Amino acid sequence: MSELLLGVLAFIVRAITFALDVAVFISDTKRLSRWVTGSSTFAAVPAEAKIMTPAAKRALAEAEQRNHFLYLPRK
């Protein structure tokens, strides 16, 4: 019975150690990315989306029309 309790206790300690190792790895990865990029944020996202100009809308529609035919089965 005592071996079972020791085994369960060892499993719990190993699980906690693994969780802490994962947390430290994530923290170190974030620190490395800040050091490499020189930025504290991953990406700057604007609060509101910009409205597309008519020329951009036409270009997007043309690109979608062009690409639409690429995915159709060829005869």
What tens digit of pLDDT does each residue of 54-69 get?
Answer: 999 898 888 888 776 6
Q: Is 14 in contact with 6 (CB distance < 8 Å)?
A: no
**Separation of alpha carbons 58 and 66, rounded Å:** 12
User: Model-level pTM?
Assistant: 0.49
| Local structure of 73: helix, strand or coil | coil
Site of tokens 């979608």: 64
- 15, 48, 51: which is closest to 7 by C-alpha? 15
Q: Is the pLDDT of residue 8 over 90?
A: yes
Q: Is the pLDDT of residue 74 over 60?
A: no
Tell which wins on pLDDT, 42 or 33: 33
**Separation of alpha carbons 8 and 14, rounded Å:** 10
